[in-house]
Amino acid sequence: AIPVILDCDPGHDDVFAIWLAAAHPAIDLRAITTVGGNGQLEFTTANARIACTVAGIDGVPIAAGAAQPIAGVLRPADWIHGANALGGPVLPEPTVGVDQRPALTLIRDVVEASAEPVTIVATGPLTNIGLMARDHPEVLSRVERVVWMGGSTTRGNVTPYAEFNAWTDPESIALVLDSGVDFTMVGLNISHQALITPEVRERIGAIGTRTAAFGKELLEFFCSTYEVAEKMPDGPLHDPITIALLADPSVATTVRSHLEVELHGTVTRGATSVDLIDILGKEHNATIAMDLDVDRFWALIEEAVAALD
Ligand code: BDR
Ligand code: CA
């Protein structure tokens, strides 16, 4: 199984990424680290613990990382995820603890202890990995690859061209790209294919477990905010596509391309520039996820939910 550290900001769709990573036999989830993003760090860390508590995931260390992006001040996505970043279900008191190490220390310890190179999957602003590129490049150079949900080859969702994770911390993306680590972007262009239709919600609810019931409430809340914010009643389940792609590469097509992020635009800060037409003739420094096998993706999600408590 592939050793994975999941760096996340739960967040409704992050919770499904945690569950898929914990349940899929091709993934060996070694650690969860958190970042300020969908909510302030206190909320995203508590929510990672809650996601594990609900699903009966124990033995995976959870450590808190950066509260703020490298530049500027965090503006949480409360219009999508609610005031506690996990609106909808009544949240249980987490019984899964929090590791006392800072996230970067936990990541370093896991990377150094692993016989095989570790993959980092990031489903929030890239702050923790950007700080690692800036301050601990020797650790990042031992990482197999970074698979990140964020950016877009097309539209944005916070501004016309910037996606939330990219817009929150574009400096971190630039640092990670500059590090030369093998980088995969799972952007809105593919995640908007993973639409949470009423049929999907029904099938997940029908699994009948505690995790399924909690998950269905998450999906219902998430779809209700997407309906208001983006006129999309079937919200997109962005984050777990990263884990799905790792566990089962046939779930999506990818292309190699040149990726950069806009740091200074007057209206486009945080936009990702993906040169799909190769017009710049620059080095292909990233793998870009493109087309999702939608049925295969939902089968992976449903199998994961069914395998948990
Ligand atoms: C991304 O932003 C967050 O709202 C989601 O969790 C996802 O990581 C989508 O733009
Ligand atoms: Ca996220």
| Given the residues 238, 258, 264, 284, the one annotated as active site | 238
Burial (CB count <10 Å: 0-12, 13-18, 19+), residue 107? buried
Residue nearest to atom 10 of ligand 1 (CA): 164
Whether the model clears a pTM of 0.90, i.e. scores above it, the answer is yes
pLDDT computed for residue 114 by the predictor: 98
pLDDT computed for residue 212 by the predictor: 98
**Which stretches of the chain score pLDDT less than 70?**
none
Distance from Cα 275 to the centre of ligand 2, integer Å: 24
pLDDT computed for residue 8 by the predictor: 99
pLDDT in tens, 182-203: 999 999 999 999 999 999 999 9
Instruction: Please choose from 44, 158, 165, 242 the residue to mutate so as to test ligand 1's pocket, defined by most ligand atoms within 8 A of CB.
Output: 165
Q: Please, which residues bridge with residue 148 across strands?
A: 122, 185
CA distance 222 to 290: 23
CA distance 144 to 222: 33
Burial (CB count <10 Å: 0-12, 13-18, 19+), residue 228? exposed
Distance from Cα 281 to the centre of ligand 2, integer Å: 32
Examine the residue annotation and report whether 24 is marked as an active-site residue of this protein.
Answer: no
pLDDT in tens, 199-253: 999 999 999 999 999 999 999 999 999 999 999 999 999 999 999 999 999 999 9
